[in-house]
Structure 1
Amino acid sequence: MRLNYVETGPDDAPVVLLGSSLGANHAMWAPQVDALAQRFRVVAFDHRGHGESGVPEGPYTIDDLGGDVVELLDTLEVDQASYVGISLGGSVGLWLAQHAPERIHRLVAICPPSNTGADPQTWTDRAAQVRAEGTQAITDATLGRWFLPDSKEDIEPVRQMLLDCPDEGYAACCEAVGALNLLPGLGDITAPVLVITAESDTSVPPETVVPLAAGIPGAHLEVIEQAAHLVTYSHPDVVNPLLLAHLA
């Protein structure tokens, strides 16, 4: 399906795709876009079921979400791009590096769930809750995981993204996350990979991300201290230089 996207930066520059977290849309990348657009053609997109992309009835799979990005590259007439993804977007990036390696130049996977299929009940329950009560039922708890309690950021734009996310799209992507197992193909990834995790991430704890990075040949791991899950939004001063160095 055709995804909604926003382009920034020179038309003739190398392309960098930005894949968002579950419940967010392309606007979550505001802290990164200007920095990246000085060197790259930045394409920030909405996953299916999110933002202004279509909302087909779920459940979705990681194959659906990854296939959508391949279709987006075809639409853009881009043979190969670098990819930066956080959370769900990071999982999509790992899928792309495994299943469409010729399309991915460099990859940054930030706080990516990778083997949630081993214990899917949390995601099944959350999907059911959102279908019954809407995303407002999970917004406060989600923000509590995404930011530290003493966070100084203005999180209201992020709260509004979660509230605006289509209920079916959020629930169906929960089902995609709940079926994930990206571990078997890690050793086949050939793109240069930067993996970033956050020291205080309770959504995707560092202890699940560190071994993930170890399973990818040549991957570089960065642990951001005093940070929770949505580290791109809370710590752009740390994350942006890492992105620019890896994508260069």
Structure 2
Amino acid sequence: MTVRLHHVAEGPPDGPVLVLAGSLGSTVEMWRPQLPVLAERFRVVRIDLRGHGGSPATPGDYQIADLADDVLELLDDLGLDRVDWCGLSLGAMVGMHLASETPERIGRLTLCCTSAHFPDPTVWQQRIAAVAERGTAGIAEAVVARWFTPGWAAAHPDVVGEAEEMVADTSDAGYAGCCAALVVWDHRDRLPAITAPTLVIAGADDLATPVEPHARTIVDGIPGARLAVVPGLHLANIESAEAVTGLLMEHLTTSTDSR
């Protein structure tokens, strides 16, 4: 059963459509650093994944395919046959699934700070247990500590506080359900099926999805994929906002023939 996803659309109504999907524990607000530039040229559709922000949660374990089905229903409702996609972490995993299983729906693909597989799912099993015990509010500080480098976080306490609020406000059921999807996530065999021009962006110091092996596995698996490494941990789109926005614009506006 799908859920109706909360979304926010901005930019020229007749512009090319770019969908932005965020990380586990985030909302549409995590993309604010990119919005001023992207919305000048694109119809930017920011979405909350199932159980996040304004999107309802369903009980039980999820799979990435479930989250992708939610997206396809939204695209159909909006009358969007084909879109460009930029996802970070969980949102990028949904993008990988869409690009391999419904390639006709995805134009250009950008995958930020993400993985095609977690060899050791223990961290996600522990996260499920922690949410069951303390709720998302009880894990928010520890989660966000892995999103930004310590020096950057110390210099931007307001951003850190907003990030902790995003996690704390995430539905317990939605957060745990998505963690369950990460426990079983393994898309390595499907990466070669992705035909969309793909940019992979990695945070140089990312603890959750390090360049080696996570970003490297994706780049090696998707034909023609390109890797860019920027400073920062897991939410590199915030810590290295200008660099990520520039890379994204270059990827979305470069002629396919020149790649």
Q: TM-score range by the shorter chain?
A: over 0.9
Tell me the SS of whatever aligns to 2:85.
strand
The total of aligned residue pairs comes to: 246
Structure 1: give runs of 5+ residues left out of the alignment.
none
Give the corresponding residue for 1:156: 161
Quick check: 2:7–2:48 contact (8 Å CA) kept in 1? yes
**Does 1:190 find its partner at 2:191?**
no
Quote the residue 2:251 is aligned against: 246
Cα distance between partner residues in 2 of 1:205 and 1:12? 37
Aligned structure 1 segments of 4 or more residues deviating by more than 6 angstroms: none
Over residues 203-236 of structure 1, what are the superposed CA-to-partner deviations in whole Å (9 max), with x where a residue is unaligned? Answer: 11110211221111000100113x1110001111
Aligned-pair CA distance for 1:136: 2.1
d(CA) in 1 for partners of 2:185 and 2:221? 16
Contact 2:93 2:114 in 1 (8 A): yes
Corresponding position of 2:16: 14
Aligned to 1:233: 238
- Which SS does the other structure have where 2:200 is aligned? strand
Written as runs of structure 1 = structure 2, the 5 A alignment for 1:41-56 is 41-56=43-58
TM-score (norm 2): 0.93
Contact 1:113 1:177 in 2 (8 A): no
**Normalised TM-score (structure 1):** 0.97
Q: Is the 8 A contact 1:106 1:193 kept in 2?
A: yes
Match of 1:85 in 2: 87
Q: Hey, what's the Cα distance between the residues in 1 that align with 2:56 and 2:194?
A: 30
Match of 1:27 in 2: 29
- Secondary structure at the residue paired with 2:151? coil
Q: Note the C-alpha offset of 1:155.
A: 1.6
Q: Deviations over 1:151-198 (max 9, x none)?
A: 123321111101111111111100011110010011111000000001
Q: In structure 2, how many angstroms separate the alpha carbons of the residues matched to 1:113 and 1:122?
A: 14
What does residue 75 of structure 1 align with? 77
CA displacement, residues 8-59 of structure 1 (integer Å, 9 cap, x when unaligned) = 0011111000001000011110001111000100000000010011111021
Q: Distance in 2 between matches of 1:211 and 1:126?
A: 24
CA distance, structure 2, for counterparts of residue 68 and residue 15 of structure 1: 18
Confirm or deny that 1:220 pairs with 2:222.
no
Question: How much has 1:119 moved relative to structure 2?
Answer: 2.2
Q: What is the letter of the counterpart of residue 143 of structure 1?
A: V
Aligned to 2:7: 5
Hey, what's the Cα distance between the residues in 2 that align with 1:142 and 1:129?
Answer: 11
Contact 2:138 2:168 in 1 (8 A): no
Percent of aligned pairs sharing the same letter? 43
One-letter amino acid matched to 1:196: I
Letter in 2 for 1:160: E
- Partners of 1:120 and 1:155 lie apart in 2 by 26
1:176 to 176, 181, 189: 181
Distance 2:137 2:56 in 1: 20
In the TM superposition, residue 141 of structure 1 has moved relative to its aligned partner by 1.5
Identify the range of structure 1 (195-204 vs 118-127) with the bigger mean alpha-carbon deviation. Answer: 118-127
